[in-house]
Structure 1
Amino acid sequence: MSHRRTVLAVVLAGLALALSGCAPTVTLDPGAQANDPGCAEISVRLPDTVADKAKRETDAQATGAWGDPAAVILRCGVPPIGPTTKPCIDVNGIDWVLMTDPAAKTIVYQTFGRRPATEVIIDHVAGVSDASVLPEFSSAIATVKQTQKCLSTLDTTGGGAGTPTPTPSR
């Protein structure tokens, strides 16, 4: 190898090392069922960017993080929730339950009616909005079949038409 190539290889290796040091691995706890095959299906389909934040390496199975510092975190394999009075929204065919106070600085959403369940944590302090995050995960989450539909409290408290019960979807 010529001297120039050796120097170039050393410079490129140093540059790669320096760049990788800019965004260290995000340490996360895996969900209890992170080894579920559904989590693998979701994990391989996670987007490279979410809300204009680049994806980062994580050290836990079936997780994802975007931004430096992490503004969005995803964990697949969390314990699924049953019927709830918490707010439920549909984003591109995915039912999400808002698990935290909507005014909190950090918001947690969890999928409803899918096993394994997935949670997404959004840091509003980082200037990321729910509307710019949740749609990004729709195609990945859709790989896990939905078995129950999340209903609005209006549907279950008599404010809607009749008293519907959760029904299997698609």
Structure 2
Amino acid sequence: MPTTRTVRRTAALTLGAGTAALLSGCAPAVPVDAAPYATDPLCADVVLTTPDSLGEGLDRVDTTSQATTAWGEPSAAVVLRCGVEPLGPTTERCVTVEAPDGTSVDWVVVADDPADEQGSDWTFTTYGRVPAVEVRVPADVASARSTSFVDALGAAVSRAPAERSCVGLDAF
């Protein structure tokens, strides 16, 4: 038969574990709409192999949708969505980003406000990969640091095979 002390200790441990679980469930998640092709099995590979951090201050945070991940503060997070509509031929700026491990990915880079690139959000969308991957970088992040952290996504994004490449590439 358990003693009063054992019962109290068990109750305290149970309460502590329940409180920790409850508090961890309160961490804000970044609201993200799932991409149209988020159910592509390759998207799971892409998202599961993304890094836990994109550098100082850009640690992984929870999101609300399948085939997405994010880094940074939930109010101004860098957001990756896998399964966006693949891009067709475009006249937008296309760059090849090479990671230190030699992996290279073609990205179409667009400022949401071309008239104010310094204060604009940025969208990086893979070119020639299916499923396509989109990375949204808020202006707060882009203005505070270089977006060169995109190279850290190369190994994960390369899980989606390259079918085409950009013409007239810029180096990044």
The one-letter code of the counterpart of 2:151 is P
Identity of aligned residues (%): 34
SS at match of 1:67: strand
Q: CA deviation at 1:141?
A: 0.6
- Name the residue aligned to 2:87: 81
Distance 1:91 1:131, change over 3 A: same
Distance 1:16 1:68, change over 3 A: farther
Does structure 2 retain, via aligned residues, the 8 Å contact 1:87–1:152? no
- Name the residue aligned to 1:95: 106
Match of 1:37 among 41, 44, 60: 41
Deviations 1:30-89 (A, max 9, x none): 111111122122122122122332212212111111122242000111111112121111
Deviations 1:100-146 (A, max 9, x none): 234343110100000111100011313343112x1121111111110
The one-letter code of the counterpart of 2:52 is D
The one-letter code of the counterpart of 1:97 is V
| C-alpha RMSD of matched pairs (Å) | 2.0
Deviating above 3 A after TM superposition, structure 1's stretches of 4 or more consecutive aligned residues are 101-104
SS at match of 2:73: coil
Q: CA deviation at 1:19?
A: 4.2
Determine the C-alpha separation between the residues in 2 that align with 1:153 and 1:113.
13
Distance 1:84 1:104, change over 3 A: farther
Structure number with greater CO (CA < 8 Å, separation at least 6) is: 2
Q: CA deviation at 1:29?
A: 0.8
Determine the C-alpha separation between the residues in 2 that align with 1:7 and 1:28.
37
- Name the residue aligned to 1:65: 70
- Equivalenced residue count is 152
Instruction: Give the TM-score normalised by the residue count of structure 2.
Output: 0.78
